[in-house]
Chain A
């Protein structure tokens, strides 16, 4: 489904990604871990098509087609979703109106009929229960005045509504207390399906206690320095990231 080969990318004139190769199949959950500044968020943003991130080498194929020359809205319409590390606030646009506009744009792209306001209201109310978002929050401005935890839950709500096929979660666990973390994790698990893949970017192992990954990759200095199963995450939790740096140096 997603095939990343030797991906290199820079922000401004600073190269961050130094050749990432990663293959993600339907139904798989990949965790990408690594120390701060290792390029985890850059990878997520490059995949979502954010301006200011320049791809300087390599390829990314999504469903066998080049992903990198598509606009962010096209990528979303094709089923790619980025849950942001820092979701922005948009006062003046209600959550409900925003999500209706987004869902109908995606449905239109997929050749499905658009939902009217009443039908959409049913959808959003049902999905809001999943992440325990009260209805009063739906009529507020997008993320306006939301706490950190509410913003992250709102990201999962959007994901549930848009029903993407590839979900990128960028440090969704950061800044969450244990209750919010469990709500978010339950939301993610409820969305796991055989035809839906996840890339979970995280600094800590704790989210992975709740969302079990099939593969764990460690990013360091813009490269994947180690890949393994979920036991690798536990090892990292115990030993930190330092030993991998040592191992890398030792292997040269």
Chain B
């Protein structure tokens, strides 16, 4: 395993668990960190396709080949204490009828800035899923643009962002429905503690040609301190007339009735709060289809929400 700290993404080959292995707490405490991605492409019969993304300026370009399903796991992790900047950039095309699951985990150093840009074209009857987990770093900007460029395209965007200290997290997402009968679902959840700031800026466009579009967008925020701030800007621009679109956002605090219920059963207040934060976030992680990745995300969530001043 490569033990040097790299700030630009690189491919990890071999055993699929090798990327997860780098998150091992033992390795982390030894200062071993790394960032990278792992791409797994398979044909309909489950056989593996050897495919490397094409390097472009500051990032990678990937075309999911016809007749395949792909999983892309991307991780940006470092424990470096000093200020630094990392970025990741992907241009992805999903060919007709293909499927891509993208997972992204940001776990950068306490003074780090991370910028992520993902541009996706979803062609006819293709299905794109994005699961973003933003846990650590000083400034994180997550930008996702999805062009629903073919009929019957599907898209799911999910994000969980956790702010503490003075972290600033921005999410800018755009789903552009260009063709008929597209389906998009978007759910972003923020947990904001300390003096952190969380922004959700989500735009859904339904073009004139994109009749029968079915779209739902939700942003929910849980504020854990009086100084934390959430800003939510869900926005719909609809130019077609026969569509089903809905959006909503909430910003709230821990529910007093739920907290009392747990405490009245003997669960200490701090533990009860942790349970309720976990309850808010866990559905995002339970969606993850890769058990080994779920096993990493739960401790990350605990770490990100447990360490309080």
Contacts and interface: CB of A to CB of B under 8 A. Distances in A.
Interface residues of B, number: 23
Interface string B96-124: 00000000000000000000000000000
A249 interface: no
Interface string B261-273: 1111111110110
Which of B262, B264, B266, B275 has the largest count of A CB atoms less than 10 A from its CB? B266
Nearest to B257: A88
B283 interface: yes
B18 interface: no
A101 B261 contact: no
A123 B172 CA distance: 48
Interface in A131-149: 141-142
Contacts of A92: 278-280, 282-283
A109 B261 contact: no
B267 A73 contact: yes
A77 interface: yes
A49 B265 CA distance: 12
A236 B7 CA distance: 77
Interface in B207-256: 255-256
Contacts of B280: 92
Interface string B10-43: 0000000000000000000000000000000000
Contacts of B255: 88
A124 interface: no
Interface string A78-116: 000110100110111100001101110110010000000
A84 B263 CA distance: 13
B119 to A, nearest CB: 33
A201 interface: no
B269 A71 contact: yes
A105 B269 CA distance: 11
Given A50-B260, A90-B258, A90-B261, A73 B279 contact: no
A39 to B, nearest CB: 19
Contacts of B262: 90, 98, 102
**Chain B binding surface SS class:** helix
Contacts of A141: 279
A102 B265 contact: yes
Contacts of B276: 90, 93
Nearest to A93: B279
Contact of B278 (A84, A93, A102): A93
B39 to A, nearest CB: 32
Contacts of A49: 263-264
A91 B269 CA distance: 18
A105 B267 CA distance: 6
A220 interface: no
Nearest to B281: A92
Contacts of B261: 84, 87-88, 90, 142
A9 interface: no
A221 interface: no
A108 to B, nearest CB: 9
A72 interface: yes
Interface of B: 255-258, 260-269, 271-272, 275-276, 278-280, 282-283
Interface of A: 48-51, 71-73, 75-77, 81-82, 84, 87-88, 90-93, 98-99, 101-103, 105-106, 109, 141-142, 158, 162
Given A77-B266, A88-B261, A93-B275, 6 more contacts: A72-B260, A76-B264, A81-B264, A90-B276, A91-B279, A162-B266
The 3 closest A-B pairs by CB, nearest first: A92-B279, A76-B266, A102-B265
20 contacts: A49-B263, A49-B264, A50-B264, A72-B263, A72-B264, A73-B266, A73-B269, A76-B264, A81-B265, A84-B261, A87-B261, A90-B258, A91-B279, A93-B275, A98-B262, A98-B275, A101-B271, A102-B265, A105-B266, A105-B268
